[in-house]
Amino acid sequence: MSEQISFKEELDTSGLNCPLPLLKAKQALANLSSGDVLKVIATDAGSQRDFRSFAKLSGNELLHEEVTEQNYYYWLKKR
């Protein structure tokens, strides 16, 4: 599924621990237009909880999330 999701910007937060991946994603989303998609790459397992909660509370849509052996990927659509 992830190959089919087009995104406007990619943010690599590898190596950063909570809450930095989410804070950096918030900053990146602020610079995007409504409807744009931000792809975030993270290595912190806590980012799953953070991004799910953020999407619910902010109204931005978590289109998809994916987990590999080393990374967590999120596609956030700005409202």
Instruction: Give pLDDT tens digits for 30-69.
Output: 999 999 999 999 999 999 999 999 999 999 999 999 999 9
Q: How far apart are CA 75 and CA 61, in angstroms?
A: 8
Which residue among the candidates 7, 8, 16, 18 is catalytic per the annotation? 18
Q: How far apart are CA 25 and CA 20, in angstroms?
A: 8
Task: With beta carbons less than 8 A apart as the criterion, state whether 27 and 13 touch.
Answer: no
What's the burial of 58, exposed, middle or buried (CB within 10 Å: 0-12/13-18/19+)? middle
| pLDDT for res 4 | 86
Q: Domain range for residue 15? A: 2-77
Q: In the annotation, is 49 catalytic? A: no
The number of folded domains in the chain is 1
- In order of 10, 29, 76, the CA distances from 7 in angstroms are 7, 12, 9
CATH number at residue 60: 3.30.110.40
Q: With 90 as the cut, is the pLDDT of residue 2 above it?
A: no
